Structure 1
Amino acid sequence: MQTADSREAAPIACTLSAADMGPRVARIQAMTREHLRRHELLGSALRLTYAPEAADEVARIAELGQACCAFLDFETRRHADGLEVVITAPHQVGADAKWLFSQFLPNAAAPASACPCCKG
Structure 2
Amino acid sequence: GECGCGSSCASAAENDALSIACTLGASDFKERVASIRALARRSLHHAERTPLSLKLTYGREALDEVTELMHNEQACCSFLTFDLKSNPRAVVLTVTAPQTAAEAADLLFDHFAPELAASNLKETA
Pairwise TM-score range, normalised by the shorter structure: 0.7 to 0.9
Q: 1:48 aligns to what SS in structure 2?
A: strand
Q: Hey, what does 1:3 align to over in structure 2?
A: none
Q: Output the CA distance in 1 between the equivalents of 2:24 and 2:30.
A: 10
**Relative to structure 1, is the Cα distance of residues 67 and 88 closer, same or farther in structure 2, using a 3 angstrom cutoff?**
same
- Please, which moves more after superposition, 32-41 or 10-19? 10-19
2:102 alignment partner, one of 79, 94, 106 = 94
1:45 aligns with 2:49: no
After the TM superposition, which segments of 4 or more aligned residues of structure 1 sit over 4 Å from their partners?
A: none
TM-score by length of 2: 0.75
Which runs of no fewer than 5 residues in structure 1 stay unpaired?
1-7, 109-114
TM-score by length of 1: 0.78
Fraction of identical pairs, as percent: 38
- Contact 2:18 2:100 (C-alpha < 8 Å) held by counterparts: no
2:78 alignment partner, one of 70, 78, 91 = 70
RMSD of Structure 2 on Structure 1 (CA): 2.3
Q: 1:50 aligns to what SS in structure 2?
A: strand
Give the count of matched residue pairs: 106
Which runs of no fewer than 5 residues in structure 2 stay unpaired?
1-15
**Relative to structure 1, is the Cα distance of residues 74 and 54 closer, same or farther in structure 2, using a 3 angstrom cutoff?**
same
Q: Output the CA distance in 1 between the equivalents of 2:79 and 2:38.
A: 24
Task: Measure how far apart 1:75 and its partner are.
Answer: 1.1
Q: Output the CA distance in 1 between the equivalents of 2:18 and 2:72.
A: 16
1:105 alignment partner, one of 107, 110, 113 = 113
Task: Measure how far apart 1:96 and its partner are.
Answer: 2.5
Q: Hey, what does 1:116 align to over in structure 2?
A: 120
Q: Hey, what does 1:60 align to over in structure 2?
A: 68
**Relative to structure 1, is the Cα distance of residues 34 and 90 closer, same or farther in structure 2, using a 3 angstrom cutoff?**
same
Q: Output the CA distance in 2 between the equivalents of 1:66 and 1:13.
A: 12
